[in-house]
Amino acid sequence: MAFKLLLRVFIFIAICPGGYFTPSEIKATEKEASVYIPKNLEDAHRELEKILKPADIKKMKDGTEKDMSSYHHGLGTWIRNNWKLWKGDRLSKYFNDIGIQHPDDISGIILDTFWCKLNNKPFRLQERIQFYQEYWKAVQPPKVRSPKDGAQIAWVTQQGPLGDYEETLESLKEKLHLGISLSDHSFWRYKYSTKLIEPAKPEEEKYLADWLKKWQEKGYDLSDVNE
């Protein structure tokens, strides 16, 4: 079961080649201070039904859940800003209490489950919560050090299934971190599913060597990578 996350930006461009989704479907243009902030997910759905135009609600309903990614910028930005998800108001606190922290994740759940509501589909809320929690664990730079001498490793990139812009719980298991030792510039790989560190493969070494060269040419300090 797939859920959209940070790479929604690529998906929405593919769905809406004309550019960002403009929240013209918002009926009112109230000032931020006067915008009602929902207290929970159901309340957020009720507000969307109030502020969206019927034609736009129909367009959402007639689309797919995947199409909701196209609203991440525009309507999603409006939600994050006007419902004060960045400022820790009551809607963000509600989501924090059920295990969702990032405003992008919150607005994503609101929009995706709104589609489910319109189409009488289960919200699968616990599955979404599990996904986002696992995602943030999978993308965090590993805290392991070089098996050779215990030196710190600069984890410079993370990789998943090529061309997969739609993360799943299964794909997160394949999340791979590539890094460079700060002591001898040796190259390492760390797979999230196994929690094991091992020498990078030849093709990964080439990528890391090119990355290190460009980094040094710019005069950057390798120790700043994971700061």
Write out the chain's pLDDT in tens, 227 residues.
444 443 443 333 333 333 344 455 565 444 445 889 999 999 999 999 999 999 999 999 999 999 999 999 999 999 999 999 999 999 999 999 999 999 999 999 999 999 999 999 999 999 999 999 999 999 999 999 999 999 999 999 998 765 445 778 888 888 999 999 999 999 999 999 999 999 999 999 999 999 999 999 999 999 888 76
| Predicted pLDDT of residue 14 | 34
3 inside domain: no
170 inside domain: yes
Helix axes 103-118, 90-97, angle to 10 degrees: 90
59 inside domain: yes
Find, among 91, 208, 190, 101, the residue nearest to 144 by Cα: 190
Find, among 138, 200, 212, the residue nearest to 168 by Cα: 138
Pairing of strands 187-191, 176-181: antiparallel
**Structural domain boundaries, residue 124:** 8-136
Query: Cβ neighbours of residue 92 under 8 Å, at least 6 residues apart?
Result: 83, 84, 85, 86, 103, 106
Residues 157, 194, single domain; the answer is: yes
Residues 112, 159, single domain; the answer is: no
Residues 118, 153, single domain; the answer is: no
What is the domain count for the chain? 2
Residues 118, 33, single domain; the answer is: yes
d(C-alpha 46, C-alpha 5), whole Å? 23
Q: Which of 109, 136, 163 is the last residue of a domain?
A: 136
Residues 107, 218, single domain; the answer is: no
33 inside domain: yes
Residues 129, 145, single domain; the answer is: no
Residues 112, 162, single domain; the answer is: no
Q: Which of 113, 136, 159 is the last residue of a domain?
A: 136
166 inside domain: yes
Query: Do the beta carbons of residue 197 and residue 190 sit within 8 Å?
Result: yes
2 inside domain: no
Q: Which of 110, 136, 162 is the last residue of a domain?
A: 136
| Predicted pLDDT of residue 172 | 87
| Predicted pLDDT of residue 27 | 54
Residues 129, 183, single domain; the answer is: no
d(C-alpha 85, C-alpha 33), whole Å? 14
DSSP letter for 52, please. B
**Region for 31 from its dihedrals, namely left if φ exceeds 0, alpha if ψ lies in -120 to 50, beta otherwise:** beta
- Which amino acid is it at 4? K
Residues 160, 128, single domain; the answer is: no
160 inside domain: yes
Residues 111, 180, single domain; the answer is: no
d(C-alpha 7, C-alpha 32), whole Å? 28
